């Protein structure tokens, strides 16, 4: 699943390609919006909100387009991605997985395998992203509020609370495991026993911020294959700090709907 920094980079690429330009083509390949054509409308902006992307399209221009400002809202979920291509360039993913194609002169943005795709009135954006907590990379970031949100259920495992986008938006499975290691806390530990929650929020913000503009994410500070993470995806390999084999297991809440059970990694010596 893409992390918040990946989504913000994606929004940046889309903004560079689309913002301030008029759509010359619009193909939304989901039944509900199959007849929606935003051609002739100006793209005002592209913004990321947690793991959501909002492509804000203005009202119609002289060539047609939408009658009122709308937003093309998408969520990448597990497999989704947006690519930007030059006009006529061959797509790098199968055409049958394309869910949205937005064209401007000289370029096109293609959303593949999107987990969610909607067109909402600009005034109704909060219906799509309103329940989210403060965005770790957004202008609304508030570490005190994020810490207070994490504290609302003190018995909940901290490794589950970190994934709850209603508490703070942008942490995925990789950052969840890495944050727990760097804080020296087992992901199964109740929030009430996880230590200073403001420190958790501050560390999460720093990690995403330092990786926001990097194609290759690293939490170790080492940009080399096989050395970029402390515990994530390193099951049974030696801990980089103490040499103890990294453990791998499952952690989730099937009833709550927060990603059900997901794989998690930890060091049984460095984390308590």
**Mean pLDDT, residues 143-166:** 97
Q: How confident is the model at residue 1 (pLDDT cuts 50, 70, 90)?
A: low
Alpha-carbon distance of 41 to 60, in angstroms, equals 5
In 3D space, the residue among 173, 167, 162, 165 whose CA is nearest the CA of residue 219 turns out to be 173
Helices (H) and strands (E) in the chain, counts: 6, 10
Q: Which residue has the tokens 């330092």?
A: 210
* CA dihedral angle for residue 68, residue 11, residue 77, residue 90, rounded to 10 degrees: 100
- Residue 11 near residue 182 (C-beta atoms within 8 A): no
Measured CA angle at 125 (ends 124, 127), to 5 deg: 70
pTM of the model: 0.90
* CA dihedral angle for residue 135, residue 140, residue 143, residue 147, rounded to 10 degrees: -70
Average confidence score pLDDT of the chain: 93
Q: Indicate if the pLDDT at residue 259 is higher than 50.
A: no
pLDDT (tens digit per residue) in 48-99: 999 899 999 998 655 555 668 999 999 998 899 999 999 999 999 999 999 9
Alpha-carbon distance of 241 to 272, in angstroms, equals 14
Residues of the chain with CATH 1.10.8.50: 143-266
What is the structure's pLDDT at 2?
A: 79
Residues of the chain with CATH 3.20.190.10: 4-129
Residues with catalytic function: 2-3, 51, 262
* Secondary structure of residue 160 in the 3-state scheme: helix
Alpha-carbon distance of 269 to 272, in angstroms, equals 7
Q: Domain 4-129 sits in which CATH superfamily?
A: MutM-like, N-terminal (3.20.190.10)
The 8-class DSSP code of residue 166 comes to T
Q: Indicate if the pLDDT at residue 41 is higher than 80.
A: yes
* CA dihedral angle for residue 119, residue 122, residue 128, residue 132, rounded to 10 degrees: 150
- Pairing verdict, β 107-112 and 98-104: antiparallel
**Mean pLDDT, residues 249-265:** 70
- What are 42's strand-pairing partners? 22
- Residue 180 near residue 271 (C-beta atoms within 8 A): yes
What is the structure's pLDDT at 63?
A: 54
Query: For 262, how many CA atoms within 13 A lie in the half-sphere containing its CB?
Result: 25
What is the structure's pLDDT at 65?
A: 59
Token pair listed for 59: 């009202």
What is the structure's pLDDT at 73?
A: 97
Q: How many residues are present in the chain?
A: 272
Label residue 258 exposed, middle or buried (CB < 10 Å: 0-12, 13-18, 19+): middle
- Residue 120 near residue 70 (C-beta atoms within 8 A): yes
Fold classification of 143-266 is Helicase, Ruva Protein; domain 3 (1.10.8)
């Amino acid at each position: 699943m893409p992390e918040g920094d990946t989504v913000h980079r994606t929004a940046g690429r889309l903004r560079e390609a689309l913002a301030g330009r008029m759509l010359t083509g619009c193909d939304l390949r989901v039944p509900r919006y199959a007849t929606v054509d935003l051609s002739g409308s100006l793209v005002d902006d592209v913004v990321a909100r947690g793991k959501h992307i909002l492509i804000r399209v203005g009202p119609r221009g002289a060539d047609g387009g939408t009658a009122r400002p709308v937003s093309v809202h998408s969520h990448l979920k597990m497999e989704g991605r947006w690519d930007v291509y030059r006009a006529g360039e061959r797509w790098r993913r199968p055409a049958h997985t394309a869910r949205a194609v937005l064209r401007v002169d000289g370029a096109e943005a293609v959303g593949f395998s999107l987990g969610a795709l909607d067109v909402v009135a600009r005034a109704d954006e909060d219906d799509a992203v309103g329940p989210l907590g403060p965005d770790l990379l957004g202008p609304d970031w508030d570490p005190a509020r994020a810490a207070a949100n994490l504290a609302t259920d003190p018995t909940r495992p901290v490794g589950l609370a970190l994934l709850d986008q209603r508490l703070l938006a942008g942490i995925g499975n990789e950052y969840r495991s890495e944050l727990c290691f760097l804080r020296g806390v087992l992901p199964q530990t109740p929030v009430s026993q996880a230590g200073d929650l403001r420190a958790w929020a501050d560390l999460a913000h720093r990690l995403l911020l330092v990786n926001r503009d990097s194609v290759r994410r690293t939490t170790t500070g080492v940009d080399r294959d096989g050395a970029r993470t402390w515990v994530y995806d390193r099951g049974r390999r030696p801990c980089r700090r103490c040499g103890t084999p990294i453990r791998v297991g499952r952690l989730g809440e099937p009833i709550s709907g927060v990603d059900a059970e997901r794989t998690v990694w930890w060091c049984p010596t460095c984390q308590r």
